[in-house]
A and B are shown apart, each in its own frame.
Chain A
Amino acid sequence: MRRLGADAVEVRTPERLAGLDGLVIPGGESTTMTRLIDSAGLEPALRAHHEAGRPILGTCAGLIVCDAEHLGFIDATARRNAFGRQLQSFEADLEVIGAGEEPLRAVFIRAPWVERTGEGVEVLATWDGHPVAIREGSVLASAFHPELTDDPRFHAIFMAMITKAAEQSRANREKEGAPR
């Protein structure tokens, strides 16, 4: 994100999330993350961020945390560890809509896949018939780890969403301010 020009900080507390234009929920262990979101009291701040239309990128565990059975930020259901244990982890060239003609190197580590997608959900990539990159509104999610490669194209899709959302919110503020 920094390479794409973002000023990036780590979020561990609700206070730290306030005022940020976008949020990445990266890979990790989704059970651990869910518990820590709870113990740090992050959920209200995450909901406020999402409701304000500020973009969220969830990768791997981040995809699971955003799904319909967890925070419900995206109308899709992930299946945890769908590809199996570490021995079944793999990397492959993957065509992703919006990332250009060339496939990108996708790294799947004990990865989930998307079992069900709602009507409004755009599928950006599939592997073996299963959606592995999806988008709905301000939420972008992948089953693979774009953060483990040097290829910035998946993050660039997210960066464009942030720029657009920030411009829109500025325009809205100006519109609201105009009649006064």
Chain B
Amino acid sequence: MPDRATFRLKTGLAEMLKGGVIMDVVTPEEAKIAEEAGAVAVMALERVPADIRRDGGVARMSDPAMIKGIQEAVTIPVMAKARIGHFAEAQVLQALEVDYIDESEVLTPADEVNHIDKLAFDVPFVCGATNLGEALRRIGEGAAMIRSKGEAGTGNVVEAVRHMREITSGIRRLSQLRPEELAAAAKELPAPLEVVQEVAAAGRLPVPLFCAGGIATPADAALMMQLGAEGNFVGSGIFKSSDPARRARAIVEATTHYEDPERVAAASIGLGEAMSGLEIAPLAEQGALLQHRGG
């Protein structure tokens, strides 16, 4: 008898996306542009983060009709976002047979204390993290893929850099510890001891680690890959630029050939305007940072 929804099948799909770019799309047409440009998957959502930020209000799971339209438009995997803690939205997304659910801080949290019990689902989950403790707590809850949170919708890569460095340096520190020191480390992070032990022994997360939140240029994509991302999510950066198809291709090219500056340079030529970016400090003052949602 075949087994379904095993942890290996959940992380396995993310393994297949490694080295690739997952693009935010809001219409079937954008999904086709993304697929044509070489995206390994698309994230179906109602508004890209830059627009959510601009419009304000409560950001929720997308309209199922829109998600279905995107599923029919492309053959690559289709992901969709549920609010943090909103397990009923996640149930709906599972009923729609999306390929991955992003329990995302970009949407307005539905629960300020608890995340979704991801082990209860057959569809795999990706979750954002700002540091190693957060990543390991999400894995403990059943996430099969981790992405940096960064600061979505800003076109400013600085927070993604901070989070990726926090996660990877945290892993390096854990792998230096002696076995009897791991319980204290788990308490300090805080994170489940079994996951901490697993990471310390392997020197890596037990699930793929991607970057998200602020990538706007091919060089941003190459930077994040060199900092240890195994692939990139690009949200507003593509469809908020002046020539989305071309910029999408260029970011795919730079993610694939991230160690070859000449190719990244060639990909960066003549892309037109990047999305206009936002400084982080004023957002922090206004309490408008998305990364602090869910911890």
Task: Identify the A interface with B (CB < 8 A).
Answer: 12-13, 27-29, 31-32, 35-36, 39-40, 60-61, 80-81, 84-92, 107, 109-110, 145, 148-149
Contact = CB atoms under 8 A, between A and B. Distances in A.
A28 B40 contact: yes
Given A31-B35, A36-B38, A86 B76 contact: no
B3 interface: yes
A32 B20 contact: yes
Given A29-B20, A29-B41, A32-B40, A92 B97 contact: no
Interface string B2-20: 1111101100110111111
B3 A90 contact: yes
B99 interface: yes
B20 A86 contact: no
A90 B253 contact: no
Contact of A92 (B1, B35, B124): B1
A35 B38 contact: yes
B75 A90 contact: no
A32 B252 CA distance: 9
Contacts of B98: 85-86
Contact of A148 (B5, B12, B99): B12
A32 B100 CA distance: 18
A110 B15 contact: no
Interface of B: 1-6, 8-9, 12-13, 15-20, 35-41, 75-77, 94, 97-100, 122-124, 249, 252-253, 256-257, 260
Nearest to A128: B2
Contacts of B13: 86, 89, 109-110
B143 to A, nearest CB: 15
Nearest to A90: B2
A81 B9 contact: no
Given A12-B256, A31-B75, A85-B99, A109 B12 contact: yes
Contacts of B97: 84-87
19 contacts: A28-B19, A29-B76, A29-B77, A32-B38, A32-B252, A36-B38, A39-B249, A40-B257, A80-B75, A85-B99, A86-B97, A86-B98, A87-B123, A88-B4, A89-B4, A90-B3, A91-B2, A107-B8, A110-B13
Contacts of B123: 86-87
A163 B184 CA distance: 50
Contacts of B249: 39
B100 to A, nearest CB: 7
A109 B37 CA distance: 23
A60 B124 CA distance: 19
Contacts of B8: 91, 107, 148-149
A90 B4 contact: yes
A65 to B, nearest CB: 13
Contacts of A39: 38, 249, 253
A27 B15 contact: yes
A104 to B, nearest CB: 14
A51 B162 CA distance: 48
Contact of B17 (A29, A40, A145): A29
B94 A60 contact: no
A87 B249 CA distance: 29
Contacts of B12: 89, 107, 109, 145, 148
